[in-house]
Amino acid sequence: MTSSVAVIGAGLMGNGIAQLMAAHGMNVMLYEPFDDARHAAKDKILSMCSAIGDPDECVDRITFSGDLEASVGSVDFVIEAAPEKIELKQELFASLADITPSSTLLGTNSSVIPISRIAKELDDADAARVVGVHFWNPPYLVPLVEVIQGERTSLETVESAMRLLRMAGKDPVHIKKDTVVGNRLQHALWREAVALVASGAIDAEGVDTVIKKSFGLRLPVLAPLENADLVGIELTQDVHRVVFPELCNDLEPNPILQQMLDSGRTGMNSGQGFHHWTPETAAAKRELLTRHLLKVTGRT
């Protein structure tokens, strides 16, 4: 049974995944090549513990390391959470394949890069142990993890990943083709939301209000395909006939995103994105999100 993991990259997701695994009794090696990020990781993980009411002691099960080989040499499962850059991940997985025993499973938390591309240069035996384990932020609160089977990932690797994630209290889903599901669904909605604002039909506040005050309220108990069954497939087909020609099908990001970047409207970090933010309203939104997730996951 898997009980030791290495997490690669002590950033937002890596710290959160390390916290989750340690809080579920696993020994964690947390590898981070940059001193500043590595030295900051422990305090960040402690503040995660305090935000969600986990005991601080779980951090004692985490070893912080700047040595890749020592971090991954004797663990059952590696979870990579390094930056979303394809060449970086390909190089990292080539190293991991070389320096880990052939029984070690190699997971990637990549958001959108296909698993088969990350494992492209590996031989079949090594590619068979590479699997997508796509956590959502924050990983210690969002239950779902997408377990993505690459073209050469073995079923045994998928099953081991699902077992490990269940041990960590997660709800894994097996994606049988090399694609992401949650981000495709989410960004189909974002593309439409941005296009509606860009068209002048409605402002950002209006779009977000429409979502939050209508189907967003129903989603936790009535997901889209359940909803299609509820209204009936015939109505669903009739609506699609009329609405689909209206929908945005751009293959590139909407130009207003570049215009916003060019004018410094980069989002919460600059105080202005689609909405206006002060440090206080941004902090309040983050706090509200944590409290909401604690509530809907039954932790408070």
| Contact between 82 and ligand NAD per CB under 6 A | yes
Q: How far is the CB of 235 from ligand NAD (least distance, A)?
A: 35
Decide: helix, strand or coil at residue 145. Answer: strand
Q: CB 54: neighbour CB atoms within 10 A?
A: 20
Contact partners, residue 249, CB within 8 Å, separation at least 6 = none
Contact partners, residue 8, CB within 8 Å, separation at least 6 = 14, 31, 68, 71, 72, 78, 79, 80, 81, 82, 92, 96
Q: Which is nearer to ligand NAD, 31 or 162 (CB)?
A: 31
Which of 8-16, 117-125, 147-155, 242-250 is the region at the interface with ligand NAD (rule: CB under 6 A)?
8-16
Which of 82-90, 114-122, 124-132, 167-175 is the region at the interface with ligand NAD (rule: CB under 6 A)?
82-90
Apex 144 CA angle, 143 and 148, nearest 5: 155
Decide: helix, strand or coil at residue 80. Answer: strand
Count of residues engaged in binding ligand NAD, rule: CB under 6 A: 23
Q: CB 282: neighbour CB atoms within 10 A?
A: 15
Q: Which two tokens mark 285?
A: 């939104």
Cα–Cα distances (Å) from 169 to 161, 265, 296, in that order, read 13, 38, 15
| Contact between 81 and ligand NAD per CB under 6 A | yes
| Contact between 64 and ligand NAD per CB under 6 A | no
| Contact between 8 and ligand NAD per CB under 6 A | yes
Tell me, residue by residue from 136 to 175, as one string, x for binding to ligand NAD by CB under 6 A and - for no binding: xx--------------------------------------
Q: How far is the CB of 8 from ligand NAD (least distance, A)?
A: 5
Which of 27-35, 48-56, 206-214, 227-235 is the region at the interface with ligand NAD (rule: CB under 6 A)?
27-35
Q: How far is the CB of 269 from ligand NAD (least distance, A)?
A: 13
Which residue is closest to ligand NAD by CB?
Answer: 11
Q: Which is nearer to ligand NAD, 34 or 215 (CB)?
A: 34
